[in-house]
Amino acid sequence: MAEALRRTVLALPLMASAAAAAEPDAWSFRFPALEGGEHDLAAWRGRVLLVVNTASFCGFTPQYAALQRLHERYRERGLVVFGVPSNDFNQEAASAAQVREFCDAQFGIDFPLAAISRVRGADAHPFFRWAAVRAGGEPRWNFHKYLVARDGQRVRGFATRVAPDNIEMTRAIEAALAAPGA
């Protein structure tokens, strides 16, 4: 019996490290793409990721312009802006084609966009459930932002009212870009 207990105690660190290794990171998720196919977040491993739930017909929709500017300003340094259209707040277009047409015509968006997805509640996309646990909760409105560090583990949430070009946001992005990768 003592030998069995000793083996169990010795195995605990191995079991803990295996559990930690099984813990998902941001790179563990995939989203259907707006135009078909999918976005595998693992393709952006080692970059800084800004995931934003978006909507076409919201008072905060002008944030699309600032998101596009962030994308243009920081992409060469490793930032990926990723938009996730959602109708959770009843302010998104009815189809992927309408979302794409709106984003192109109004804002010239060329950062990647997911298909229309749920971002709140039990039916939320798994990434949003994962991020909500790590970054202060689920989106309370459109244009909630999750900034994911290069390691894919550290996540910081920004409420809707924090505009993408707000000094708090740009300082956080610059700090994440300056930090070493995983």
CA distance 64 to 109: 8
**Cα dihedral angle (44, 149, 72, 100), rounded to 10 degrees?**
60
Local structure of 61: helix, strand or coil: coil
103 a catalytic residue: no
Local structure of 39: helix, strand or coil: strand
Find all residues with CB under 8 Å of 6, minimum gap 6, and list them.
Answer: none
Local structure of 58: helix, strand or coil: coil
Of the residues 58, 96, 113, 173, only one is catalytic, namely 58
CA distance 125 to 128: 6
Could you list the active site residues? 58
